[in-house]
Amino acid sequence: MPRYALKIEYNGAPFNGWQRQAELPSVQGAVEAALARLEPGPHTIAAAGRTDTGVHGLGQVAHCDMAKEWDPFRLSEALNFHLKPDPVSVVACTAVPEDWHARFSAQARHYLFRLVVRRAPLTHDAGLAWRVMQPLSLKTMQAGATHLLGQHDFTTFRASECQAKSPVKSLDRLEIEELDYPGGREFRFHISARSFLHNQVRSFVGTLERVGAGAWAPEDVKTALEARDRAACGPVCPPYGLYLRAVDYPEDPFG
């Protein structure tokens, strides 16, 4: 069967995460329903990452198998037509080999978290960034983040319901930048690894926010990591500032 890779963008607010659920709206369910409008029969797609409820996608990658050959441009146009009015868009589509897999062929996943510091509620970015009101120190958050880089047992930063076989992961990048924002400041967390544990990124950001606010010292992040105890983690931040930004493959299927 012809296989196609899809690069998908979505606003996660109205969905109970990526993964299909029988009685609840999901991004996977929306895409599969659109595919069923093009070719009859059940469709099952696989994605690079199963984002949680409220998490957004800028560069989610999935693959689908079709019964007939499609021009990739026509397939993406048809899917976008049938995805309306859901906030989901196929921004790129390409034919891939039958053994190519959106999840298992991936080499790295890149996440972005947006945190805005200001007193006023967010308007244009409501539901798209986490707002906090107390000032944060970029320098101390960066110092705390250094303790998380490399290979570690991340039990502390892993949700209790996480189904990963091992808590040991390698964190390749955790960089924080500070930007101007109307009436305040924006902090962007750029986080990359081959794979992640459930709630790992949100646990990182929630903990580092406590460091930036002065409630934790940067060295407390190291202490929490070495505790290998979920109770040692800082607060888990809300999902709506988190974006799956991009996925890397040995060769970029989208060129």
* Catalytic status, residue 52: yes
Give the C-alpha separation, 47 to 239, whole Å.
19
Q: Which residue in 108, 111, 28 sits closest to 62, CA to CA?
A: 28
Distance, CA of 60 to CA of 216 (rounded, Å): 33
Task: Give the DSSP letter string of 167-234.
Answer: SEEEEEEEEEEEEEETTEEEEEEEEEES---TTHHHHHHHHHHHHHTTSS-HHHHHHHHHHT-GGGS-
Catalytic residue (choose from 52, 99, 153, 229): 52
Alpha helices in the chain (DSSP H): 27-38, 72-83, 138-145, 200-212, 218-227
Inter-residue contact 66 to 98 (CB < 8 Å) = no
Residues with a catalytic annotation lie at 52
